[in-house]
Chains A and B, each alone.
Chain A
């Protein structure tokens, strides 16, 4: 029963997110807004529940599986991927490395600078 309650709650928040996106015309996908709404609810309530915990653990422990059907979609674009394989693969690999290294560096630098500033303010 726990799992069922949890998944129902997740679907309700997703639905609320989708409806708000349509009504308010925000350029953000419904599930993302639903997640933000659930996060705010949890912060406001001050605790999670066992049913939510069990549903989220079940879904998130198999998160990789959920990407498989979208990935198989590469067969639809096979010709384009073959024709442009070089720019696509180099752009994907290089850009992922650049993004990852840059975000690590920016995170460390900004945390360092801000920590210093906090110390000075004290």
Chain B
């Protein structure tokens, strides 16, 4: 009897967005607590652990991604206003930014190209399909922008979204170690590199280090999204004509 009631409740809940939204928030807050509890161990990055936990949960309950996303979209939607909100930390670092304008511009443009072509090159060398290569190209750019670029150049936007998230997680995990190895102490340099290579997830990690690193990461992310969106489709088109 109780089992039948539970089944009825499940049927009802699985058709409303409430469940998808709630499990996203609950999973994330648990993942975040685990991360804090493990003294911010980068391997337990809360995006990584919550994505894996939700993935397992959805597979075990036989729920489709579309059903989950009916609730998940409310969280996903906030990426838009959050992108706009990056203008505020950027503005707060304005005076420092003015002094560094030219080096930042040079770094952003070369970084955007290196990010795109190194991933295409490595994937091609290792025999990935063309569609996978093209979906990988905008991987260092923030998700909403990367999906647009991917569509434009002939990749799969939803695959790009996943690769973007994975790139961000990798960047957040290796960033601090790499900067330590390279003996970089300047938060503005670290921030720019983080934002260009690991977009929003790297930026979230950078804000945990210092607000200066976070602001510069936001700057690197915003400018490289802009640069990649403008240059990459045009350049790939041009290279295609040469072949």
The number of residues on chain A lying at the interface, defined by a beta carbon within 8 Å of a beta carbon of chain B, is 69
- The A/B interface has a contact count, at CB < 8 Å, of 290
Q: Are A76 and B65 in contact (CB under 8 A)?
A: yes
Task: Check B59–A75 contact: CB distance below 8 A.
Answer: yes
A61 pairs with B207, CB closer than 8 A: yes
| Inter-chain contact B128/A72, CB cutoff 8 Å | no
**A contact residues around B148 at 8 Å (CB):** 27, 29
B170 within 8 A of A: yes
Interface pair A98/B145, CB less than 8 Å apart = no
CB distance from B148 to the nearest CB of A (A): 5
Select from chain A the residue with minimum beta-carbon distance to B72. Answer: A69
Contact A64 B201 (CB under 8 A): yes
Closest chain-B Cβ to A53's Cβ sits at a distance in Å of 6
Interface residues on B, range: 35 or more
Q: Given A70-B161, A72-B51, A111-B100, is A88 in contact with B81 using a C-beta cutoff of 8 Å?
A: no
Interface: A82 (CB within 8 A)? no
* Contact (Cβ within 8 A) B91 A43: yes
Give a binary string over A31-53; 1 marks a CB under 8 Å from any B CB, 0 the rest. Answer: 11011101100110000100011
- Of the candidates B24, B139, B158, the one whose C-beta lies within 8 Å of that of A73 is B158
What B residues does A27 contact at CB under 8 A? 148, 152, 229-230, 233
Within the assembled complex, what's the spacing in Å between the Cα atoms of A99 and B115?
5
Chain A residues contacting B213 (CB-CB under 8 Å) are: none
B residues with CB within 8 A of A: 24-25, 27-28, 32, 45-47, 50-51, 54-55, 58-59, 65, 68-69, 72-73, 75-76, 78-92, 94, 100, 102-104, 106-107, 110-111, 114-115, 118-119, 122-123, 126-129, 132, 136, 139-140, 142-145, 148, 152, 156, 158-159, 161-168, 170-171, 174-175, 178-179, 182, 184, 189-190, 192-194, 196-198, 200-201, 203-204, 207, 214, 220, 222, 225-226, 229-230, 233
Sorted nearest first, the 6 A-B pairs with minimum C-beta distance are: A69-B72, A87-B126, A31-B83, A71-B51, A87-B128, A56-B85
